[in-house]
Structure formats: C-alpha cells, structure tokens
Structure 1
Amino acid sequence: MTLETGHRSAPASEQELLQRAAAVAGQSLAELAAMLAVQTPADLDHNKGWGGQLLETWLGASAGSQPTPDFPELGIELKTLPVDTAGRPLESTYVCTVDLQPAPGGWHDSLVWLKLQKVLWLPLVTAKNAPPGERRIGSALLWSPTAEQADILQQDWEELMELVSAGELEHISSRQGQYLQIRPKAANSRALTRSFDSDGNASLTLPRGFYLRPAFTRQILQHHFH
C-alpha cells in the first residue's frame, strides 16, 4: 500500500477527525507506516513531506493539491509541527505558496486566511539526529486564531502582499512580519517561476511561501497545553 492507494475516507465530523488523531497519539511514524503498509524512509533528504503525507492518509485528508483546507468538508487544515523533546517547535510552518501575480482581493479572500481559520496541529516529537521513523506523534490540537492573533496575521499579510504587488519581492526579508513571513520555497535555484519587478517588467524568481514563525506556533502550543 502506498500513501496514494492507502487513502482513507474523509472524516464526517470534527469528532471523528479528533478520534482518528487520538488513536495514533504516542505512536512513532514507523509504527503508523507499518499500519498503513508504507515503507519508512531512512532520511528525509528526498522525502521531506513524508510524515505529513502519512498523517494525511491516516486522517483522511481529501484536498490533495487543491487550494483549500486539507479537510474541505470541515474547513480544517492539517499542520504537522516538528518539536523537540521539550515541546519547542523546531522550524517555521509552511502555510501556502505566495501568488507572485496576485489577483484583486483582500485578506479575507486570501488562501492564507482560508487555511488558518481552523487548524488541526499535530506535534511530531523529534529527537536530535533521530531517523524519520522514530518521530513520535503528539496529542492533536484543534485551533482557531483569537481576534488579536487574526489581526496581527492580517497586518503581516497586508504589509507583505503590498510589497509583492509593487514588484518589491527581492526586498522582502524573512525578518519581516510578526507572525507571518515570506521565504523562498524551492529546494534549488533551477526551480524558477514568473514574477515582475517594480517597473512592471516580467522576470523569473524563486517561488516563495508563507510561513508561520516558530515563536508563534510555540505560543499556540503553550496556551493549549499549559
């Protein structure tokens, strides 16, 4: 069984989704892979999204590559979150790609807001230098941003998209944005996409993605678990 052929039916409710997540809490990714008859890779060099795909399969995520939340019927996005043994996030969390030729529309029309309105966070406890299969699935957390968090996310998005729309992409730094940042997404410099410069001339550049800062996801975990 592969991750594609092992796909389960979509959960019919939030309760069913949380039950599926609770059923594998405490298990390693290798144990879950064995349940799904999926091979566990020795490393993530060429399998970076393997853990997330494995959990999507188990939970029944149905969106695929469509620009919707992973569970479109429930309006819930799945985000796996590698954390250290003390529960601290180890990296930024990818949200979605940045549209480098943005269509008209504001924050509430954006894919970022669509995906962040309701998120099922699944921590993956990751010991230093441990192989992927030893990552352990933590307790799931169903989260929606508070009014204050939503305001800050909106402010970050609007400031960043103003620069994108003005063709100032090359001047955007990962230091910009309190919760939300823009960073290059491609693994190598050959994966270029179409954009435009500040004079409106077409150009090629690295794809960019929206990411949540580790300090923000740590805040989410601390508020829920402590």
Structure 2
Amino acid sequence: MGREFIDLFDKWATSYDAAVTGHDPQYRDVFENYDTILSEVVSNSEGNVLEFGVGTGNLSKKLLDADHHVIGIEPSKAMREAASAKYPDLTVLDGDFLSFPKLDIPIFTIVSTYAFHHLTDDEKGKAIKAFNEILPVNGKVVFADTVFESEETKQEIIDQAKDNGYNDLVYDLTTEYYPMKNTLQSLFKQNGFYVTFKQMNKFAWLIVAEKQ
C-alpha cells in the first residue's frame, strides 16, 4: 500500500477498533456490517493465506480461527505492534502490496480489508500482476474495500459527508485513491483474473477474483 499514508495508519492504530465497532459516527456507514464483511472474506478463503494490511488483526484472528495458515503484511509499525499485542501467535511482517519479504510457503488466497484504496490505479495494476505471479491457477484474491460505481456516486457521498460535518471522512475521500468498480474490474481481467463484486454496505464491496 502507499507508504505515504504511514502516518495515517499509525494514527488509526489506537482508534481503528472503536471505529469498526460503530463508536465513531463519521465512519459508521463505512464499517457497517463489519463482522459480516470479515466473515465473508474468510468464507471465500482457501488454503494458506497472505494478508495485506493486517491493521489491528481483526481479519487475521478470524482466519486463524478457521484454521488457515496466515502470513500478515503490514507497513505500519504501530499497527504491527497492536496486532501482535492482541494476537501473539500471529506472524506480521513489515511490507506492503508492492514490496514484501520473500514467502517460504505456497499461497492459495490473498486477502485484504479496507487497504487496497491506498494505491493509485497504476499501483493497483502492478500489485494485481504480482498476485498473478504468486498464486496458482484457481488461486484467489479476496478483498473488502471501498469502491464506487461512478464519479457521480462518489461525489454524492462526499457532499453528504460535508453536510454532516464529517471532515475526517471528507479528507479521506478526497485524498485517497478509491477505485471505480469498472476500473478495478478491468485491472483484474487484464492480469488474468475472473472477478465478481458484492456490495456489503454503502461504501464497502466484497471483491473475489480467481486466477484463470
């Protein structure tokens, strides 16, 4: 993910769990159905799992509980420390979507939640190409992230956030690289994946891509 957002990730390390459980009204719609979203990612995962953007470890815990072997990648030291403190058995390595340590086990599923939008569209394409190189045929990418169906839809949501005085959310929506659905679909297709989308709330979509 974009290393330019490290300060933001470090800041989120102490407040993320409160936000995903609905305690921050600015992000309540962003994380609506959060537990269901994580469960959907887990239910679509198979075999050894590589997780990007571990954050505070919420998805990692569910994957471990489902008996997956998980290798976590997280660029924020504060996030790595938060996840390791909660789940001492979790392996979390320093890295991001575009630069991470060499893996010593075969990976069948690559997962991430609320992180892929920190890459530009060009970087997303490079990351998806790398996923193709890592995964076997029928291997899967299973992401949950904010995706917009059109620029008009995105602007409507920004305007609503402004009207509600949600300045932090407005800042996120205007400075991070939230993709359009058709752009993301094209990037996966260009790199050898069949992809499906399922909307989970006003912001988040479940994205399941299978290597052909």
What TM-score comes out, normalization by structure 1 length? 0.26
Higher helix fraction (1 or 2): 2
TM-score by length of 2: 0.27
- Higher Cα Rg, which structure: 1
